[in-house]
């Protein structure tokens, strides 16, 4: 079996398929020594929670605004200065010159690939372009036709885990992921299958037959995804190269963002020893939330509701009165312009040029941004557009329905989730994640039999009234 590299060179997949960086098996993800993590933390003036504990002190930190739970070498983020780097490489350079799979490789292995490694990596991922038939059956028979695709995607990835009991720690024991090869194989499988699951959900919801065995060896990861959305037997849809490149850049920009909510979820679940498919499914669940990846969808719906530039002042007043939220604005870490939003805004205009139509919502979005950035409420709180503010307009221009926006985010972020999964598994300081609480409930009190409680409380605490008659004993 052979696959063609981008320059037309054939590579023998059958012999080389799992040989990427085999020499690093025992050295963790980057081959770097990780034992010095404690020394690093001391240098950076970090207070160890165990030290606080010895002083009889607990740090109370809802939302983890000032709590580090791991050391990481994957992504550097400086929210004050608006800097984002993957493995040291500035996001602007990666978005300008790299490809999504090259970035996924770099996030996982820690270094940019050689050309040969990249071709092998692409071939390994491409080998998983056809989802298992059982998953296709679940997608077409297991959900209502109007089910939100993120719900379908999370459920299908969860189901995917049941197909591989031989690499499930719950069945085989925790040692199963100690093998570098086993971890890597799950990465290829998940990265390769994820876009095809999204495409299959789209096809099923739009009455298109599942695609089987379509030959896309000469396509990039993102071209193949676009092709899968429109594939029909006997006809191979050739995706527009410029639009595919724009989407590829969006995948790069979404690929990782250190310990955001869904990546923290990935680490949290992995810490319990559960299989990687369950962890990814849970991360998709976290990403679905409108304060996280669901914001892409929420921004577009917000713009459609605002409708015209004239309505902006009233909308922003509602935001300031806390009746509304300005979706696509604000970020836990950035107190400056999100560097990804700058790139995305530029791409939006390139995409409009390519499709030959400017979405009027871009003018509305630009004016909304300008007004907010000059408003004291947003200035005082250092609220700037984030990655989701303009990305939905690009997805819309390419032709995606609004509900699919978070799925597109999930395709990109899968690269980061898997890099963090791998890093967690090889971290000598890893522990099951188990935060503390400050208990503020009742002190000790004695149990009262149910018949002695009747009449003491007239108003039930249960708000919904299901029973119309008296409960019979």
Minimum CB–partner distance for residue 405 and ligand COA (Å): 12
Q: How far apart are alpha carbons 412 and 376 in whole angstroms?
A: 34
Residue of 291, 314, 379, 436 that binds ligand COA (CB under 6 A): 291
In order, the DSSP letters of 59-126 are: ---GGGTT------SSEEEETTTTEEEETTEEHHHHHHH--HHHHHHHHHHSSPPPHHHHHHHHHHHH
Closer residue to ligand COA, CB minimum distance, 203 or 340: 340
| Closer to ligand COA by Cβ: residue 189 or 254 | 254
Q: Which is nearer to ligand COA, 131 or 293 (CB)?
A: 293
Catalytic status, residue 146: no
Q: Determine the length of the chain.
A: 473
Classify strands 83-86 and 10-12 as parallel, antiparallel or unpaired. unpaired
Query: In the chain, what is the straight-line distance between the N-terminal and C-terminal CA atoms, in Å?
Result: 70
- Which of 158, 219, 259, 295 is the binder for ligand COA (CB under 6 A)? 295
Q: How far is CA 441 from CA 371, 438, 456, 461, in A?
A: 45, 9, 21, 17
Rounded CA-CA distance 257/430 in Å is 20
Longest dimension (CA), the chain: 82
Binding mask 62-101 for ligand COA (x = CB under 6 A): -x--------------------------------------
Q: Tell me which stretch binds ligand COA (CB under 6 A): 41-49, 287-295, 361-369, 436-444.
A: 287-295
Q: Does position 27 bind ligand COA by CB under 6 A?
A: no
Q: Which residues contact 461 (CB under 8 A, 6 or more apart)?
A: none
Token couple for 117: 């490694």
Binding mask 385-424 for ligand COA (x = CB under 6 A): -xxx------------------------------------
Residue closer to ligand COA (CB basis): 211 or 393: 393
175 catalytic? Reply is: no
212/450 Cα distance (integer angstroms): 61
Q: Report in angstroms how near the CB of residue 383 gets to ligand COA at its nearest.
A: 5
Closer Cβ to ligand COA, 125 or 253, answer by number: 253
Catalytic residue chosen out of the listed positions 29, 275, 338, 388: 388
Binding mask 327-356 for ligand COA (x = CB under 6 A): xxxxxx------------------------
What the block records as the tokens of 360 is 């009027």
Which CB, 110 or 293, lies closer to ligand COA?
293
Q: At its nearest, how many Å lie between ligand COA and the CB of residue 263?
A: 12
Q: Which of 257, 331, 338, 359 is catalytic?
A: 331
HEC letters along 236-284: CCCCCHHHHHHHHHHHHHHCCCCCCHHHHHHHHHHHCCCCHHHHHHHHH
Cα distance between residue 405 and residue 419, in whole Å: 22
Token pair, residue 372, equals: 């907010």
Give the shortest CB-314-to-ligand COA separation in angstroms: 15
What are the residues binding ligand COA (CB under 6 A)?
63, 291-292, 295, 319, 325-332, 381, 383, 386-388
List active site positions: 331, 388
């Amino acid at each position: 079996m052979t696959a063609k590299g981008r320059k037309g060179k054939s590579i023998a997949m059958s012999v080389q398929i799992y040989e990427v960086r085999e020499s690093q098996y025992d050295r963790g993800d980057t081959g770097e020594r990780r034992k010095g993590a404690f020394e690093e933390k001391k240098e950076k003036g970090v207070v160890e929670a165990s030290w606080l504990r010895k002083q009889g002190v607990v740090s109370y930190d809802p939302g983890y605004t000032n709590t580090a739970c791991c050391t990481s070498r994957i992504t550097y983020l400086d929210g004050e200065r608006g800097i984002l780097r993957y493995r040291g490489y500035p996001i602007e350079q990666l978005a300008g010159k790299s490809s999504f799979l090259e970035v996924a490789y770099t996030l996982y292995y820690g270094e940019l690939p050689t050309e040969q490694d990249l071709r092998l990596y692409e071939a390994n991922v491409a080998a998983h372009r056809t989802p298992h038939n059982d998953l296709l059956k679940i997608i077409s028979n297991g959900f209502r036709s109007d089910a939100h695709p993120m719900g379908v995607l999370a459920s299908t990835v969860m189901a995917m885990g049941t197909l591989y009991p031989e690499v499930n720690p719950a069945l085989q024991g925790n040692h199963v992921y100690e093998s570098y090869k086993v971890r890597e194989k799950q990465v290829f499988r998940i990265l390769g299958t994820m876009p095809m699951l999204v495409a299959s959900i789209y096809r099923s919801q739009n009455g298109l037959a599942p695609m089987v065995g379509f030959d896309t060896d000469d396509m990039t990861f993102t071209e193949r995804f676009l092709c899968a959305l429109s594939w029909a037997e006997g006809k191979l849809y050739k995706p527009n190269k410029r639009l595919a490149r724009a989407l590829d850049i969006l995948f790069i920009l979404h690929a990782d963002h250190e310990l955001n909510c869904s990546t923290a979820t990935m680490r949290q679940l992995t810490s319990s020893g559960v299989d990687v498919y369950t962890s990814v499914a849970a991360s998709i669940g976290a990403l679905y939330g409108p304060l996280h990846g669901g914001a892409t969808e929420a921004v577009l719906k917000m713009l459609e509701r605002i409708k015209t530039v004239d309505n902006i002042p009233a909308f922003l007043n509602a935001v300031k009165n806390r009746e509304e939220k300005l979706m696509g604005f604000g970020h836990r870490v950035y107190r400056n312009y999100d560097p990804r939003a700058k790139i995305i805004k530029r791409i939006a205009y390139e995409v409009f040029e390519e499709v030959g139509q400017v979405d009027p919502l871009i003018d509305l979005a630009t004016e909304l941004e300008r007004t907010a950035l000059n408003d004291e409420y947003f200035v005082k709180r250092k609220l700037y557009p984030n990655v989701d503010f303009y990305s939905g307009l690009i997805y819309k221009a390419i032709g995606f329905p609004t509900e699919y926006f978070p799925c597109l985010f999930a395709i990109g972020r899968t690269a980061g989730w898997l890099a963090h999964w791998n890093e967690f598994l090889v971290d000598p300081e890893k522990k099951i994640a188990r935060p503390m609480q400050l208990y503020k409930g009742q002190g000790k009190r004695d149990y009262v039999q149910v018949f002695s409680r009747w009449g003491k409380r007239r108003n039930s605490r249960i708000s919904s009234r299901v029973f119309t008659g008296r409960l019979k004993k």
